Amino acid sequence: MATTETIWPLEPHTAAKHQLLGQYLDAWYPILGSFNKRVVFLDGFAGPGIYAGGEPGSPEIALSRLLDHSAFQRMPNTEFVFVFNERDKERFDSLENRVATIRASRQPWPSNVRVHTKNESFVSLGEQMLSGLNGKSLAPTFAFLDPFGYKDVPIELIQRLVKYRRIELFIYWDYNSMNRFSTAGTAVDPHLEALFGTDEFKSAPPAGDPKRKQFLHDLYQQQLRDVCGFDYVQSFEMVNADNRTGYYLFFCTRDLTGFDRMKSVMWKVDPIGGRRFSDVLAGKTVLFQEEVDTAPLRAELMEHFAGQTVSIQEITNFVIGHTPYVSTHVKRKTLAPMQKDEVIACPGQKTRGQFPDGTLVSFPAR
């Protein structure tokens, strides 16, 4: 949602986005903070720092998830650097005020937490960060890029920023605009070319074709893999109050554990499929907790491992990296029922239905 207001109301999909961000950072800080001298949280489109009802913006969420984390006191030798960037002057002023208020409320401020607020366009901030490195590599970084719309997020700049292994990206992708403009042949084309890093979006099926959305989604996903060099990319769809797809968030990493964590958070926000949030359904009472349907996972494992005997670790890595499911879906929810149904065999297994590391699983041939 593009807006001209300095501060705007928090919508349900934004709250869901913040839930994904905050819960993932809960896992990310102790993993990265325990093994690195320095970690960076970059908010390239930080906003005014607060919503109309007083709810925190992404900068405050990132800061408070660290400062309130039970592991924070155990990482006194790790420097946590926060870069909050906002181009609009009024929103930037609001952001600075918010940061000052947070600092004042948390005295004495921990000496290992540094906050930099920047009033730049993301492109110039990115170029400054890269030239400041002088060839050195960027510290492990979580980059949150959350613009309004599709401009000012060129994939070529992102590729240079994220080329170091321990950099993860959580990026907004404005499907609504892609759908409107992709095949229109308009003045918007140069922005879309910069965003995708290719002009293949022009070959998308025409508006109204049910395959159009998947085509554009898959093209961007593939570009994040190919151009930016991410091994694992997972999207999360946000549906607006008109029941139309507004945007996707793409999470990108090279680390299978991080990928499992973010996908697990996505499953918490969407317990039915792990991939989607809808403003239409937000706030509706859930009468019963849906059980995850692991039938598609069962079928995928049968197909992929047909005729093979493989370790539980190999199965789990496949599930995390190549299916929509996560590690916690593997043993109790999928393999145990498969064993009960005598679909798989586990040679040498100590206790039926349990799959500790080292357990082997045999799948029947097709």
Ligand X SMILES: C[S@@+](CC[C@H](N)C(=O)[O-])C[C@H]1O[C@@H](n2cnc3c(N)ncnc32)[C@H](O)[C@@H]1O
The residues of the shown chain that bind ligand X, judged by CB under 6 A, are 45-47, 57-58, 85-88, 91, 121-122, 146-148, 152
**Residues 277 and 236: beta-carbon distance below 8 Å:** yes
Smallest distance, Å, CB 78 to ligand X?
A: 24
Q: Which amino acid is at 209?
A: D
Smallest distance, Å, CB 101 to ligand X?
A: 15
CB of 33 or CB of 44, closer to ligand X: 44
CB of 152 or CB of 237, closer to ligand X: 152
CB of 195 or CB of 335, closer to ligand X: 195
CB of 265 or CB of 301, closer to ligand X: 265
Separation between Cα atoms, residue 155 and residue 4, nearest integer Å? 26
CB of 148 or CB of 164, closer to ligand X: 148
CB of 13 or CB of 261, closer to ligand X: 13
Smallest distance, Å, CB 15 to ligand X?
A: 10
Smallest distance, Å, CB 306 to ligand X?
A: 44
Specify the pairing of strand 309-311 against strand 360-362.
Answer: antiparallel
Smallest distance, Å, CB 87 to ligand X?
A: 4
Smallest distance, Å, CB 94 to ligand X?
A: 9
